[in-house]
Amino acid sequence: MDFHKLSLKQFPQATKHVAPEKSYWLKLRAPHELPQVAAVTCIDANPVAPYDFAAATSTRVQLYSTTSNDIKKTFSRFHDVVYSAAFRGDGKLLVTGNANGQVAVLDVASRTVLRNLHGHKGAVRAAKFSNDHVHIFSASDDKTCRLWDLATGSPVAVMGGHTDYVRAVAAHPASSSMWATGSYDHTVKLWDMRNAGSASTKATMSMDHGAPVEAVLMLPGGNLAISAGGTDIKVWDLLSGGKLLHSFSSHQKTVTCLSLDGPKTRLLSGSLDGHVKVYDLASYEVVHGYKFKQGVLSLALSPSNSHLAVGTADGLLTVRKRVNADGAVAAPAPAPRIKRSFKYTLRGAQAKPSDADHVVTARRQARCAPYENALRAFDYRKALDTALDTRNPTVIASMLEELRLRTGWQKALTDRSEESLEPLLSFCIRYVADPKYSALLTRLCTYLLELYTPLLGSSQSTLLLEGLFFKLQNKLREEMSVQASILQLMGMVESVMTAQATANVEG
């Protein structure tokens, strides 16, 4: 007679609908955590493949490789804390801003310092290359911004319109002469460098954010700017003179950083509340989010959306990798070329059956689990023990139900030692109040009490065995108390509903 495998108990499951947008961002998983010596203050993604990340932490800049998933270079020729690091458009140069007011330009390939730009009297919090690759725009705690000529290393213009620390810089995507800055004086200013001179330059436009500005972005086309300060993110229309178009908030603490995805259709924000939120720029609604243990200070997404790097206040660089960057199944490797001498041997190997052909499928014998092998041998005690070893409540409950139907409880449960009885009692204590297993386990507990109650309090009993039975007793009392409270509540609700129905009839 054929042996039928153990039929696992089936329970109804709630259907979960995952939207395509959420499913897309859920593929950024398997985070790789790299502890740093201090807080990760800035992260920038190389615009050129393979899109390595530059992370500024303490007095160094780490270059994270998306290919090897590890730090491949370290730039450590700094004398003070590095607050900013940004790649040039071709990915060959890196510009940094330091706490000593210095702006440094480095060669990514050789790690050589090409330029040291001096002029700021306070810490440089942001520095970026212009779109023409020959100018650098920097912002400092000395309340000024400077435009530098990379060839000569001298400042082209000095902007002193802010009245507090300048913490954010954004380049215009279509013009190398337009820049946006954000300051702790609550303003976002737009600067036009076409009429700039060596003297102090005035801002073309100023917008009041209403809180110290931590981050600034400009959307493709250059018509809209986004600023983050406090818990609010605001969208400004630059063509209409800096009109506020939209303001939204989904964080509980200060928003510290902003970033765009590769296609420039999604906005990412990081906050001190430890959350990273993803917004749809068409509706400004949150489509996904990630949670981190500490406050988020910096983040960057690779242009291919394949890697997300996040830096936190506790000095942890976390990189999430997409399982498949384009969402498609990887194509198999091409088959090797077959020599002509094997043509006869391999004849018919590529033939495919037609609709009229009958395909004979080989019947594969199902492999049995260890508890099924014991059940097949009528060793009920071993079958129960191996099922308990799986720690799968569905398997254990199915095995107990099968043994009950086979009238095998007596053989499986009697004369058990303390060591073999402990996993079974622990399972009962944990799941006896679960509605999925309560009917079966209530009957099992009654049977166990009938078997082992005479041993409790005798010389054969131990403190562990008695403690497990007392825990089971307390669990059942607690569940009975909850059930009694529920019945009382249902009675009160029925009384109120009956009184309401009677009043409606009399009225």
**Domain tally for the chain?**
2
Residue 378 included in any domain = yes
DSSP H helices in 336-406: 370-376, 380-390, 393-405
- Residue 188 pLDDT: 95
CATH number of 308's domain: 2.130.10.10
Of the residues 306, 321, 336, the one at which a domain ends: 321
Q: Tell whether 247 and 312 lie within a shared domain.
A: yes
Answer yes or no: are the C-beta atoms of 38 and 289 closer than 8 Å. no
**252 within domain boundaries:** yes
Q: What is the pLDDT of residues 77-122, one digit of tens each?
A: 888 999 999 999 999 999 999 999 999 999 999 989 999 999 999 9
Give the up-direction half-sphere exposure of residue 138: CA atoms within 13 A in the CB hemisphere: 38
pTM, two decimals, is 0.63
Q: 390 or 483, which is more confident?
A: 390
Same domain, 38 and 178: yes
Whether the pLDDT of residue 47 is over 90: the answer is yes
Q: What tokens appear for 251 in the block?
A: 């964080």
Residues 6+ apart with CB under 8 A from 478: 433
Residue 424 domain flag = yes
Peptide bond into 155 cis (omega under 30): no
So what's the pLDDT on residue 292? 93
**Percent of the chain scoring above 90 in pLDDT:** 45
Last-in-domain residue among 257, 286, 321: 321
Verify that 141 and 236 share a domain, yes or no: yes
Which residue range forms the structural domain that includes residue 59? 20-321
Question: Which pLDDT tens digit goes with each residue over 159-178?
Answer: 888 999 999 999 999 888 89
Based on the fold, state whether residues 161 and 283 are members of the same structural domain: yes
What is the three-class DSSP state of 227? Answer: strand
Give the pLDDT confidence score for residue 459 in this predicted structure. Answer: 55
Tell me how far apart the alpha carbons of residues 275 and 269 are, in angstroms, rounded to a whole number. Answer: 8
Contact 91, 77 (CB under 8 A): no
Please compute the mean of the pLDDT values over residues 343-366 and round it to a whole number.
70
Instruction: Examine the fold and report which residue of 287, 321, 355 is the final residue of a domain before the chain moves on.
Output: 321
What single-letter amino acid sits at 192?
A: D
User: The dihedral of CA 151, 154, 157, 161: what is its sign?
Assistant: positive
C-alpha–C-alpha distance, residues 36 and 55, integer Å = 10
Residues 431-448 have pLDDT tens digits of 888 888 888 888 888 888
The beta strands (E) that lie in 255-388 are given as 255-260, 266-271, 275-280, 285-291, 296-301, 307-312, 316-322
- Domain assignment present for residue 394? The answer is yes
What is the layout of strands, in order, in the sheet containing 213-218?
Answer: 213-218, 224-229, 232-237, 243-248
| Residues 486, 492: Cα–Cα separation, whole Å | 10
**What local confidence, expressed as pLDDT, does residue 254 receive?**
94
Instruction: Write down the pLDDT at residue 457.
Output: 66
User: pLDDT by residue (tens digit) across 285-294?
Assistant: 999 999 999 9
Choose between 190 and 336: higher pLDDT: 190
Can you tell me which residue has the tokens 């650098």? 136
299 and 402 fall within a common domain = no
Burial track 231-256 (b if 16+ CB lie within 10 A, e otherwise): bbbbbbebeeebeeeeebebbeebbb
Alpha-carbon span 281 to 268, nearest angstrom:
10
Tracing tokens 């690091």 back to the chain, one arrives at 85
Average pLDDT for 359-375: 77
What is the average pLDDT across 56-68? Answer: 91
Give bridge partners of residue 200 from the DSSP assignment. 158
Q: Is residue 35 part of a domain?
A: yes
Predicted confidence at residue 197, as pLDDT, reads: 59
Which neighbouring-strand residues pair with 144? none
Of these ranges, 94-98, 320-324, 372-376, 422-426, the one predicted with the greatest mean pLDDT is 94-98
The encoded tokens of residue 209 equal 């954010």
Q: Are 231 and 252 in contact (CB under 8 A)?
A: yes
Instruction: From residue 382, give the alpha-carbon distance in Å to each of 176, 378, 402, 420.
Output: 76, 9, 14, 10
Q: What confidence tens digit (pLDDT) does each residue in 235-271 have?
A: 999 988 899 999 999 999 999 999 999 889 999 999 9
Residue pLDDT, tens place only, 372-385: 888 888 899 999 99
- Burial status of residue 223 (CB atoms within 10 A of its CB: 0-12, 13-18, 19 or more): middle
Q: Is residue 339 part of a domain?
A: no
The answer to whether 218 and 171 have CB atoms below 8 angstroms apart is yes
Same domain flag for 233 and 314: yes
Residues 310 and 393 in one domain: no
Residues 317, 384, single domain; the answer is no
Residues 204 and 118 in one domain: yes
Say if 331 falls within a structural domain.
no
- Shared-domain flag, residues 308 and 392: no
* Pick from 368, 447, 369: nearest CA to 408: 447
Tell me: do 148 and 224 sit in the same domain: yes
- Residue 461: band (very low, low, confident or very high) from pLDDT cuts 50, 70, 90: low
**What SS3 state is found at 28?**
strand
Give the model's confidence band at 338: pLDDT under 50 very low, under 70 low, under 90 confident, else very high.
very low
Considering the domain boundaries, does residue 250 fall inside one? yes
Of 194, 196, 170, nearest to 182 (Cα)? Answer: 170
What is the C-alpha to C-alpha distance for residues 27 and 24, in angstroms, rounded to an integer?
6
Would you state the pLDDT for residue 362?
65
pLDDT, one tens digit per residue, over 17-39 is: 677 888 889 888 888 889 998 99
pLDDT of residue 503: 80
Residue 75 and residue 209 share a domain = yes
Out of 53-67, 127-141, 478-492, which region has the weakest mean confidence (pLDDT)? 478-492
- pLDDT(76) > 70: yes
